[in-house]
Structure 1
């Protein structure tokens, strides 16, 4: 597994990371701590060292799921977690906070759940517009000085917020959604990251499973899966409208002797070593499939064909419901 620099942080991360959110919530039933640990162990054995979680995934449960694994492999694993989205123990959504006092409390709580002394990469999960970003990043910078955090990150922020934050303390990574069906970040965000020397971490590089080909109707979803309930690209008939795009991409994958997911991930990987996709899964077979994308080489003609097969203006549904879209590009 080749490693790349995480911005200018000094951290080296695997070319493909692992998004841990689905282990605890959102995509059907959660894994047990033991099941999650076995999957993470397998990822590490295959060279993945970059693991992404957040305090709101499972209302803290996801961080706890990682704790046993992290304790065993603290010197090998690069752990990213996040603060800002507040939830109750029952899962209730309580709002956003970037308040400096809250940031320090959230960090201490994450350290305890993870069972570590320092967080490698600490993200502001969402921007709270009521708090000056300079105050929030200033509080995050104090955590670096205290030795509780190694590097700072932001998620789903505008280029203006990124620049303001980077003036306070170097930002190692900006995380936002990016895939062949979600490409808004190409206009300004990714170029600004490159200008500032900030790594771009791409979450949902498989379009929340849309680009795996595994979901073709409601019956393909198992358990309490939020996609059918609240994701505009799957709910209310949008999935069926998006299937022709998936099928076009599948035809290209067949020509390249690769799976649909591998072509989708290879496309993201081909966009530059400073773009680090973090697909997630709960299955060992899917982990192996995702890692196979590292062996897929795409030419300039291949990239053009992929982008012509999946025009972004033909994708049905926004990437988030209207109720939460105000927190994006903040």
Structure 2
């Protein structure tokens, strides 16, 4: 497993991280075992959020990593608050809320610090300077080591990069969502801010789920991309998961790709192919993208 540093921090994460959102409390024991197997396989980056399962996901992760807490990078997110009746959540991005809410995450995660604390969304109308101040207070207090942003809004991303010390931006990236290639990837790379990629297999369509329209691509365009991927995988004697992850990690702005493993079978499959994941050459990328049009962010530019 390769390890890369997040932004300008000293925090090194595995090139594949475990996105823990897909681990459900109804299968608590299995979730704990999967996290421990992920660690044994070389994964040291585990991502959750206070929003997931109303905090129970953080509790699951916190329990699972106790024996190796000091050896991993633990990431969670803040900014959304569940309503009292449990029927949905509201956006609460303020200095007071962030500084207060970190304590709940620390308690659920059974730790005294969070390696990467991310704003879970964000709009251009938010009190951005105040939010940045909250994260800086938490860094100074030793509650968090660094902070970042989980967002696909270019205008919001630019504000935080320009005004703050963020280390990372978590955003969607795959063969079916290459919007960040237009300009945001180069911008983040230039400013030494890491991209943490989610959605590398595009809801499973790049692996085994039926093709359907996705973002700006029609279902026929999605099918064309999948055919390219199938042909590439066959030609290079790898499976689709290996090829899809290799494509994502071949973007030099990407530091880690988060994979949502939620069954023992998926974990076994990952362990079998993890050493085959590699950086693709320009020629290989061209193979995968033959006949594929570029995508662009159409909102929040």
Q: How high is the TM-score relative to the length of structure 2?
A: 0.89
In structure 2, C-alpha distance between the alignment counterparts of 1:239 and 1:55, rounded to whole Å: 34
Asked if structure 1 preserves the Cα contact closer than 8 Å seen for 2:171 and 2:196, the reply is yes
**In the alignment, is the contact (CA less than 8 A) between 2:59 and 2:109 conserved in 1?**
yes
1:7 aligns with 2:33: no
Q: Is the 8 A contact 2:245 2:277 kept in 1?
A: no
Q: Deviations over 1:110-155 (max 9, x none)?
A: 1111111111000001114443211101111101111111101011
Of residues 187, 210, 214, the one that matches 1:216 is 210
Q: Distance in 2 between matches of 1:201 and 1:9?
A: 14
Could you tell which deviates more after superposition, 238-247 or 176-185?
Answer: 238-247
Say which of 164, 178, 191 aligns to 2:159: 164
Counterparts in 2 of 1:78-89, with a 5 A limit? 78-88=73-83
Q: CA shift at 1:239, angstroms?
A: 6.4
Distance 1:183 1:274, change over 3 A: closer
Which of 141, 144, 148 matches 2:143?
Answer: 148
Structure 2: stretches of 5+ with no match in the other structure: none
Among residues 50, 65, 74, which one is paired with 1:70 in the alignment?
65
Contact 1:144 1:151 in 2 (8 A): yes
Distance between the aligned counterparts of 1:167 and 1:312, measured in 2?
27
Task: Rate the CA distance shift 1:90–1:242 in 2: closer, same or farther, 3 A.
Answer: farther
Q: Secondary structure at the match of 1:263?
A: helix
Q: Distance in 1 between matches of 2:224 and 2:198?
A: 23
Q: Which residue of 2 aligns with 1:266?
A: 246
Match of 1:198 in 2: 193
Alpha-carbon displacement from aligned partner over 1:153-185 (angstroms, at most 9, x marks no partner)? 011154553343345441111111011100111
Q: Does 1:136 align with 2:118?
A: no
Alignment check: 8 A CA contact 2:7 2:167 kept: yes
Q: Is 2:284 aligned against 1:302?
A: yes
- Report the equivalent of 2:232: 252
**Using a 3 Å threshold, how does the CA distance of structure 1 residues 130 and 161 change in structure 2: closer, same or farther?**
closer
CA RMSD in angstroms comes to 2.7
> CA separation in 2, counterparts of 1:33 and 1:310?
41
Q: Give the structure 1 partner of residue 90 of structure 2.
A: 95
Query: So what's the TM-score if we normalise by structure 1?
Result: 0.81
Q: How much has 1:194 moved relative to structure 2? A: 0.9
Conservation of the 8 A alpha-carbon contact between 1:78 and 1:120:
yes
Distance 2:148 2:48 in 1: 13
Deviating more after overlay: 9-18 vs 280-289? 280-289
Q: Residue 15 of structure 1: CA displacement?
A: 1.3
How many Å separate the matches in 2 of 1:114 and 1:239? 41
Shift of 1:308: 1.7
Q: Equivalent residues in 2 for 1:102-113 (5 A)?
A: 102-113=97-108
Instruction: Give the superposition deviation at 1:92.
Output: 2.3
Matched residues in 1 for 2:142 and 2:192: separation?
A: 23
**In the superposition, relative to structure 1, how do residues 67 and 295 fare at CA in structure 2: closer, same or farther (>3 Å)?**
same
CA-to-partner distance for each residue in 1:266-318, whole Å, 9 max, x for gaps?
101111274311111112332343452542443322110111265456xxxx9
Q: How many residues align?
A: 297
SS of residue in 2 equivalent to 1:261 = helix
Task: Give the match's secondary structure for 1:54.
Answer: coil
How far the C-alpha of 1:208 sits from its partner, in A, is 1.9
Question: Which piece of structure 1 moves more, 81-90 or 32-41?
Answer: 81-90
**DSSP 3-state at the match of 1:74:** helix
Residue-by-residue CA offset, 1:176-226 (whole Å, 9 max, x unaligned): 10111001111222111111111110011111211112x228xxxxxxxxx
CA distance in 2, matches of 1:301, 1:89: 54
Q: Mean alpha-carbon deviation: is it higher for 118-127 or for 169-178?
A: 169-178
Whether contact under 8 Å (1:98, 1:127) holds in the other structure is: yes
Relative to structure 1, the CA distance from residue 130 to residue 274 in structure 2 (aligned partners, 3 Å threshold; closer, same or farther) is closer
